[in-house]
Structure 1
Amino acid sequence: MRTALITGSGRREGLGFETAWQLAAEGFHVILSARTVDQVEPLAGELAQEGFDASALELDLLDRASAAEAARQVEERFGRLDVLINNADVMMPSPTVADKDLDELMFEFQTNVVGTWSVTQHMLPLLVAGGSRPDRERVQRRRGVLGPRLRAGQLPWLRDGRVRPAAESARGVVWAATLPDGGPTGLFFRDGKQLPW
């Protein structure tokens, strides 16, 4: 069974959980992770009740020891990782660049760049063990999008002036995560379509 680790999947209404749900429906064992395991254990349990393979993992992007321990646990339990989705991020709004609090900016940078980098470094050997080539790991970094995970009623996520549910956004993430070997790499995509660079 293929395994996928999704960071920042501790909110039921978030894109990370919706992505985990869709990957589980594709036959993956999904590893939901968040700063505390208490955030993801109930969600992994919910997926298991739906008949999916899921587990919970504590992973704090701001703590390198946490990333190392998470990698150790994934290796111990699965021996490899097929997909890493770096979903966790933070963005604190400010009206203008001039008004941006620099402490907030540093927190965002540490989380979104350094934390994501650390997790990727720790998981890379497991991705290689899962069959990924070092020049083409199945690693995704997507800009943080908070939207709902609802299959019926749709709470909105606003993008490009229109309402977009998390289920719709997650489809593009799942598409990229399930590309076959030899598929496109090193490019930017949205909804399976290449974006100009």
Structure 2
Amino acid sequence: MPPKTALVTGVGREAGLGFAVARELAAQGFHAVLTARRLDAVEPLAALLREEGGQATALRLDLADSDSLRETAGQLADTFGRLDVLVNNASAMPDFRVLNALDADMDDVRTALEVSVLGPWALTQALLPLLKAAPAARIVNVSSRSAQQIATGLDLGAPLRSPAYSMAKYMLNALTGVLARALADTPILVNAVDPGNTATHPERGDAEHDRPAADSARDIVRAATLGPDGPTGRLFSDGRTTT
């Protein structure tokens, strides 16, 4: 029997969360399909997983390019014929230092929405036949606790950090529920995971208490390998269901 297949988006750096997720999935016997906008960035990472004894393939994928989505779907169909796990990990925080929604640059807002909301939505549509071809596929959307700034409301006068990024992740959580409802008559489960503050930027100076990427990755992989009685349309944080 061929191995289960898992596609992870946004795998462009060895220190990144996406690579940690792909590595854990490969360790659990999945054929990990690593994707990023630049093939030259992701190919060495797939090679590293193969050196570690895992099965891995690198593909170029641009979430903002409909032709790229169709090409990826075609490559997966030709090679594997199904997709067991889709991890929407790609993200963009173009407004890292912005503290007020009225100061947001609309180009930054469009970028954040394209990568974190429209991209996962369109990719799910493009890969749906492959997900349905698997016995019980799982979709995991990687969220952020930045979304909770909006979900829980703001104190008057409190800053909204990274408003474009935060709004995009809030909308990704909502999309998770929408997709779960749309797929309720299938074995496919759709959930979101807030990985918490994760140490993925040593070059920028990770905070002392940030979680290792491998720890956060395990939370995401747990959602990607839920059993048939697992929840759908939920948000997990620190391994627990929050909504």
Partner of residue 107, structure 1: 111
Identify unmatched segments of 5+ residues in structure 2.
138-182
Q: 2:17 aligns with which of 3, 12, 15?
A: 15
Distance in 2 separating the partners of 1:41 and 1:138: 29
Stretches of 4+ moved more than 2 A in 1? 132-150, 155-158
Partner of residue 238, structure 2: 191
Q: 1:68-96 CA distances to partner (integer Å, 9 max, x unpaired)?
A: 11011001000000000000011122132
Q: 1:126 aligns with which of 127, 130, 135?
A: 130
Counting matched residue pairs gives 190
**RMSD, matched Cα:** 2.4
Q: Which has the higher contact order (CA 8 A, sep 6+)?
A: 1
Partner of residue 137, structure 1: 188
Partner of residue 70, structure 1: 72
**How much identity, in percent, do the aligned residues show?**
45
Does structure 1 retain, via aligned residues, the 8 Å contact 2:69–2:126? yes
In structure 2, the CA distance between the partners of 1:156 and 1:193, relative to structure 1 (3 Å rule), is: farther
**2:177 pairs with 1:173:** no
Does structure 2 retain, via aligned residues, the 8 Å contact 1:84–1:139? no
Of 184-193 and 100-109, the range deviating more from structure 2: 184-193
TM-score scaled by structure 2? 0.72
Partner of residue 148, structure 1: 200
Does structure 2 retain, via aligned residues, the 8 Å contact 1:84–1:140? no
In structure 2, the CA distance between the partners of 1:156 and 1:54, relative to structure 1 (3 Å rule), is: farther
Partner of residue 56, structure 1: 58
Q: 2:42 aligns with which of 33, 40, 43?
A: 40
TM-score scaled by structure 1? 0.87
Of 99-108 and 19-28, the range deviating more from structure 2: 99-108
The one-letter code matched in structure 1 to 2:228 is: D
Q: 1:31-82 CA distances to partner (integer Å, 9 max, x unpaired)?
A: 0000121111100000000110000011100101101110110010000000
Deviation at 1:157, TM superposition (A): 5.3
Deviation at 1:162, TM superposition (A): 3.3
The one-letter code matched in structure 1 to 2:112 is: E
Work out which of the two has the higher radius of gyration on C-alpha atoms and give 1 or 2: 2
Q: Which has the higher helix share?
A: 2
In structure 2, the CA distance between the partners of 1:143 and 1:88, relative to structure 1 (3 Å rule), is: farther
Distance in 2 separating the partners of 1:66 and 1:141: 24
